[in-house]
Structure formats: C-alpha cells, structure tokens
Amino acid sequence: MPYPRHWLLLFVALCLVGCQTAATTGIAERPSYRAAVAGWSVKNRPLMVRVYGSGEDVVLLMAGIHGSEAAGVPILERLGRELMDRPEFLAGRTVVVLPAVNPDGVKAGKRRNANGVDLNRNFPADNFKTIKGNGSEPLSQPESRAVLEQIERYKPNRIVTFHQPLSCVDYDGEGALALAEAMGEHTDLPVKRLGGRPGSLGSYFGIDRGIPCITFELPKNARDMSDQDLWDRYGQATLAAVVYPDVLEVQ
Ligand SMILES: [Zn+2]
C-alpha cells in the first residue's frame, strides 16, 4: 500500500513547509531589540543599552544620569514597549536607549555617582571645570566613559536626555531648536535654552560637536507621578523626538 504512505509523507512535508513559512513570517513581522551591557558603574551595576531597529537615522535617548532625577527611566522603558508594538516608528531608523546611565545614583536616589561625581559635568567639553564634584578630569568616571562609547559607536543624529525639575525642553547644538520645538508641540513644557553647563553632555555633544541635544527637564512633581501618568504627559514628546524630522501625528 504505497500510496497512503506517500500521501502521509506529502501531508507532513506540506505541514513543515507551512510551519516554517509562518515562523519566518512571524519573526520578520515582530520587531525585536538587542540588549547589551554598555559598561559597569562604580559599584559594578550594569549600565544597559537597548537598540531597536537598524535604520540609518539614529536617535539616542538616555535617562537617570542624575540619579535623583529618575522619572525618565520608566518613560524609556515604556518607549521600548511602544517601539515593539508600533514597528512603523522604526522604519529607516535605529533607536538607542540607555534607560539608566547612573545606576548607582538611581538606586541610592542621589544626583551623583558612587564616587560623588556629577556625571553630567564629566564630559570633555571646552567648558569643563576641574572643581570638586566634576571629577579630577573629563571622563574620569566609568559611567561617563560608557555613555561616550555608545555615542561614538552609534553616531546618533540627535540625543535626548531626561532630567528634572526645571520644567522645560532645553536644547544645545545646531538644529536643536527645531527638534525642541517639534517636541514642544506635544507637551505643555516650554522650549527654553538654559545654556551649556560646564562639562555637560549638552555642552560637549551639542555645542562642541554639533549634535542636536535635548535636555528634557521634567517638572518637580514628576517624581510623584505613576509610570502611566509620566507616559501620558511626556510620551508623545518623546516619540516626536524619535520620529523627527517626520512630524508625529497626534495619537
Ligand atoms: Zn539633571
């Protein structure tokens, strides 16, 4: 009885082809991200980086460089889920997320890292100042070196960092005003230039190197908001920076 066996084999073969096709299609349609350890904090906590998409346009977002200003951390965690759910945001784009670049400070609820250094004063900007709390020299801290390495590696077209509590969309670098205004369309926080602080990320990457940098200063009460409230209030402005210079449609 060869025929039934042949039909059975053919049936099994067709099923395998079908499953393979479905699995391949599923993988292609479902976005994924790559997670890695970008570096280690003074107290040996991992400084994570997550990379979504692979397009030429690169945006880098980070939070928690001041550990006591951690409201941006859950916003970037949520952003990651949005990018997975809405792959259209990743068309032609790479989104690099550093959700907590001062993990010791975030854990302790302190502005500075475990060496007592303000990481946002430790970059090799022209205006770096050797004073207590800025580090003995630029990039003296493992966390600031890890941030620099990621920016050198991915070469973002724009950078957004989350802070508190100055309630504005601050900007540094050529073209950064237009980016800030695009974000400002989606938040009630005003667009305002605060000016480059010594050795800050905005001073170095924005002013000295000309990469548009946004310092997204959330308000004081952001620390009391739920993760959902933070996303509801500031998620759209964050997405506006991701899709820039495309205009984010109001969701
Ligand atoms: Zn800050």
Q: Do both 22 and 79 map to the same domain?
A: no
Phi, psi of 37 (to 5 degrees): -90, 115
- The reply to whether 23 and 37 lie within a common domain is no
Whether 108 and 6 share a structural domain: no
Closest Cα partner for 46 from 108, 103, 98? 103
For residue 249, being part of any structural domain is answered with no
Cα 249 to ligand 1 centroid, rounded to whole Å: 29
pLDDT recorded at residue 32: 85
Cα of 19 vs centre of ligand 1, distance in Å, is 51
Cα–Cα distance, 7 to 113 (Å, whole number): 68
Q: Could you tell me the residue range of the domain that residue 12 belongs to?
A: 1-30
Local confidence pLDDT in tens for the 251 residues of the chain: 445 555 544 444 444 443 333 334 444 556 789 999 999 999 999 999 999 999 999 999 999 999 999 999 999 999 999 999 999 999 999 999 999 999 999 999 999 999 999 999 999 999 999 999 999 999 999 999 999 999 999 999 999 999 999 999 999 999 999 999 999 999 999 999 999 899 999 999 999 999 999 999 999 999 999 999 999 999 999 999 999 999 998 76
Q: Are 26 and 39 part of one and the same domain?
A: no
Q: Which residues are catalytic?
A: 217
Residues with CB under 5 A from ligand 1 (ion): 66, 69, 163
In a domain, 187, yes or no: yes
CATH number at residue 149: 3.40.630.10
What pLDDT is attached to residue 4?
53
Distance 166 CA to ligand 1 centre (A): 9
Beta-strand ranges (E) seen in 46-165 are 46-53, 57-62, 93-98, 158-163
Residue 16 in any domain: the answer is yes
**Centre of ligand 1 from the C-alpha of residue 155, in Å:** 23
Q: Give, in order, the Cα–Cα distances in Å from 88 to each of 80, 101, 114, 153.
A: 13, 27, 39, 24
Domain assignment present for 54: yes
Whose CA is closest to 182, among 241, 95, 236, 251? 241
Q: Is residue 250 part of a domain?
A: no
Question: Residue written as tokens 């759209």?
Answer: 236
For the chain, state the CA radius of gyration: 22
Q: What is the pLDDT of residue 21?
A: 36
